Amino acid sequence: MFENLTARLSRVLDSLRGQGRLTEDQIDTAARELRMALLEADVALPVVKDFIEHVRQRALGAEITQSLTPGQEFLRIVQQALTETLGSRPEPLNLRQQPPAIILMAGLQGSGKTTTTAKLARLLKEQEKKKVMVVSCDVYRPAAIEQLRIVAGQVGVEVFPSAVGQDPVTIAQNALAEARRQYVDVLIVDTAGRTTVDEAMMKEIAALHAALDPVETLFVVDSMTGQDAAKTARAFADVLPLTGVVLTKIDGDARGGAALSVRQVTGKPIKFIGTGEKTDRLEVFHPDRIAARILGQGDVLGLIEEAVRKVDHEKAARFAEKLKKTKSFDLEDFREQMLQMQKMGSMASLLEKLPGGAQIQAQLQHIDADKQVRRTIAIINSMTIQERRHPDLIKASRKRRIAAGSGVEVQEVNRLLRQFETTREMMKKVASGGMAKLMRSMAG
Ligand code: GDP
C-alpha cells in the first residue's frame, strides 16, 4: 500500500539527511518537493496546501533538540502533519446504542460495501464477541442479496432474508424486529449502491436512515479512486449524517490520495481500512500507524496485534510446555511452527508492516515468501516420522529420496535442515534460560 508515495517521500527526506542546521532555502525546496509528491499521490489541493503550510511553519520555527539531526526533526514534523491529516487518533465504532446497535452501510456499486459488511460482522463477532445479524436492502440486484448471504455464511453470522421487489424500509424494519427478538447486539444493514451518486439512491438511503436511526452510518469507498473518493463521500455527507468512512482496496492503492483527503474534505473520520479481498482483511484505522507506514517506518504494533490474533494460543502454550519438559525440538515441531506462520496470513502483508518493509518487499518481489513456507512444509511431509523425530538420520541417500518426494533439489533439503538447526539452537536457549536469555543472545 502507498508504495509510490512512500518512495517519493523517502527521496525528499533522504536529501535532508546528515546536514547541519536546515536553512530556509532548504526548507522551501523540501516543501516544494513534498507538495509535488502529494499532488502526484492525488491528494485534494486544499489538503495539500494546508499540509505544506503547516510543515513549513513548523520547520522554520523548530527548535532542533539535541538528540535529533535537522533531517530527523523534519521527518518528525512531516510524520506529525501526516498523522493529523489522517485524523490524529483512531475513532472507534460507537455501539453504545440500546441493542441492537444499528450500522447502516452506504456507498457506490463496486466500492466493496457487501464485502465490508461481512468483514465488519466478522470483526465484531471475533474481536468484540458480539452477536451480529446482517441484512441486505439491495432489492434491485438479486446477486447482491445472494453475495451477502454467501459471505455472511462464511463468517458465521446470521442473515435476515430479503428478496428483490420488497420495500427496503420494510425489510429493514422487519430485520430490526427480528434482531430484537433474538437479542442481537449489532445489526448491519447493507444498502443498494448505484454507479454514480443519484437522487433516487440518496432518497432511498435517507428513508432507511430515518426509519432505523442508526448509531453508525458508514460510507464505504474505493481508495483507488483517489481524491474522487473524498468528493463522493462529501456528496453523501451532505445528505446523510455520516459517522465515518471505510476505505477499501488500500492494498491496491499505491498513491494514498484518498486516505489523505477524506478527513479534511468530509470532516468525517476514517474508521476502517480494507486491505484485501478476504473477510479478515479489515483493520481499525490508526492515523499514527498509517503515517509511520507511509514514511516507511512500519507498523510494529499492528504487526504484533495481527500476530497475537492469529496464533493458536492453546497450541502455542502446549508447545512451550513441551519444550520446557522435553527440551527437544524436532522437525515435527518445526513444521508446526511453519503452519502457524502460514496461518498468520500472507507474508507479504506482514512484511509490509515492518520498518523499511515496503522497500524490502520491493527488493524481494521475485521471492515468494508464502511459497517458501509451503515448500518447507512439503519437504517435511516427505520425511518419515522417524526422520522428523531424529533429523540426524537424514544423510545423503535419504536427502535424495526426500527431495524427489517433494519435487525439489537436494540443496533445498539441505537449506531446510540448516534453517531447522538454527531454530533448534534458539529453541534450546528458550527452553533452558527463557526469553530474557534469548533476547540477550540475539542482541549480543
Ligand atoms: P459492492 O458492490 O459495493 O457491494 O462491492 P463488493 O463488496 O461486491 O466488492 C467489489 C469487489 O471489490 C469485489 O471483487 C471484492 O472482492 C473487492 N474488494 C472489496 N474490498 C476489497 C479490499 O479491501 N481489497 C481488495 N483487493 N478488494 C476488495
**Tens digit of each residue's pLDDT (9 = 90 or more) over 290-301:** 898 888 776 666
Taking Cα atoms as reference points, which of 21, 29, 34 lies closest to residue 69? 21
Range list for CATH 1.10.260.30 in the chain = 325-346+366-443
Q: Is 136 in the pocket of ligand 1 (CB under 6 A)?
A: no
Q: What is the pLDDT of residues 211-231, one digit of tens each?
A: 999 999 999 999 999 999 999
Query: Whole-angstrom Cα distance, residue 397 to residue 414?
Result: 12
- In the predicted structure, residue 406 carries a pLDDT above the cut 60: yes
Residues annotated as binding site for GTP?
107-114, 190-194, 248-251
pLDDT at 375: 87
Q: Give the position, in ligand 1's atom list, of the atom nearest the Cα of 248.
A: 23
19 versus 193: the higher-pLDDT residue is 193
45 alpha carbon to ligand 1 midpoint, in Å?
A: 28
Q: Does domain 3-86 have CATH number 1.20.120.140?
A: yes
416 alpha carbon to ligand 1 midpoint, in Å?
A: 38
Give 218's strand partners.
105, 244
Query: Residue 191 is placed in which grid cell?
Result: 444498502
Q: What is the pLDDT of residues 314-337, one digit of tens each?
A: 777 777 777 777 777 889 888 887
Nearest protein CA to atom 5 of ligand 1, as residue: 112
Query: Whole-angstrom Cα distance, residue 406 to residue 398?
Result: 12
Q: Is 264 in the pocket of ligand 1 (CB under 6 A)?
A: no
Q: What is the pLDDT of residues 358-393, one digit of tens each?
A: 655 555 555 566 777 888 899 999 999 999 999 999
3 alpha carbon to ligand 1 midpoint, in Å?
A: 21
Mean pLDDT computed over 191-196: 80
Nearest protein CA to atom 26 of ligand 1, as residue: 276
Q: Which residues contact 70 (CB under 8 A, 6 or more apart)?
A: 16, 19, 20, 21, 22, 64
pLDDT at 444: 39
- Ligand 1 mutation pick, 149, 277, 346, max ligand atoms within 8 A of CB: 277
Query: Whole-angstrom Cα distance, residue 245 to residue 218?
Result: 5
Whether 432 and 327 have beta carbons less than 8 Å apart is answered as yes
CA 128 to chain centre: 17
Cell numbers 478527513: residue: 263
Query: Whole-angstrom Cα distance, residue 342 to residue 363?
Result: 21
206: left (phi over 0), alpha (psi -120 to 50) or beta: alpha
User: What percent of the chain is modeled with pLDDT above 70?
Assistant: 84
Give me the interface pTM, i.e. the ipTM: 0.98
Average pLDDT, the chain: 86
Range list for CATH 1.20.120.140 in the chain = 3-86
Give 270's strand partners.
245
Ranges 131-140, 232-241, 414-423, most confident: 131-140
- Rg (the chain; Cα; Å): 26
- In the predicted structure, residue 407 carries a pLDDT above the cut 80: yes
Res. 13 pLDDT band, cuts 50 70 90: confident
Nearest protein CA to atom 2 of ligand 1, as residue: 110
From the options 1.10.260.30, 1.10.10.10, 1.10.540.10, 3.40.50.300, give the CATH code of 101-294. Answer: 3.40.50.300
Mean pLDDT computed over 84-101: 90
Residue type, 315: K
Res. 124 pLDDT band, cuts 50 70 90: very high
Taking Cα atoms as reference points, which of 162, 88, 151 lies closest to residue 282? 151
Q: Is 146 in the pocket of ligand 1 (CB under 6 A)?
A: no
Taking Cα atoms as reference points, which of 401, 415, 408 lies closest to residue 334? 415
Q: Give the position, in ligand 1's atom list, of the atom nearest the Cα of 107.
A: 3
Q: Which residues contact 159 (CB under 8 A, 6 or more apart)?
A: 133, 134, 135, 136, 148, 149, 152, 153
Q: Give the position, in ligand 1's atom list, of the atom nearest the Cα of 109.
A: 2
Whether 194 and 107 have beta carbons less than 8 Å apart is answered as no
Domain boundaries 325-346+366-443, corresponding CATH code: 1.10.260.30
213 alpha carbon to ligand 1 midpoint, in Å?
A: 26
305 alpha carbon to ligand 1 midpoint, in Å?
A: 24
pLDDT at 365: 56
Mean pLDDT computed over 84-106: 91
| 307: number of Cβ within 10 Å | 15
Range list for CATH 3.40.50.300 in the chain = 101-294
Mean pLDDT computed over 260-287: 94
pTM of the entire structure?
Answer: 0.74
Three-state SS for the chain is CCHHHHHHHHHHHHCCCCCCCCCHHHHHHHHHHHHHHHHHCCCCHHHHHHHHHHHHHHHHHCCCCCCCCHHHHHHHHHHHHHHHHHCCCCCCCCCCCCCCEEEEEEECCCCCHHHHHHHHHHHHHHHCCCCEEEEECCCCCHHHHHHHHHHHHHHCCEEECCCCCCCHHHHHHHHHHHHHHCCCCEEEEECCCCCCCCHHHHHHHHHHHHHHCCCEEEEEEEHHHCHHHHHHHHHHHHHCCCCEEEEECHHHCCCCHHHHHHHHHHCCCEEEEECCCCCCCEEECCHHHHHHHHCCCCCHHHHHHHHHHHCCHHHHHHHHHHHHHHCCCCHHHHHHHHHHHHHCCCHHHHHCCCCCHHHHHHHCCCCCHHHHHHHHHHHHHCCCHHHHHCHHHCCHHHHHHHHHHHCCCHHHHHHHHHHHHHHHHHHHHHHHHHHHHHHHHHHC
- In the predicted structure, residue 167 carries a pLDDT above the cut 80: yes
- In the predicted structure, residue 97 carries a pLDDT above the cut 90: no
Res. 312 pLDDT band, cuts 50 70 90: low
- In the predicted structure, residue 400 carries a pLDDT above the cut 50: yes
Res. 152 pLDDT band, cuts 50 70 90: very high
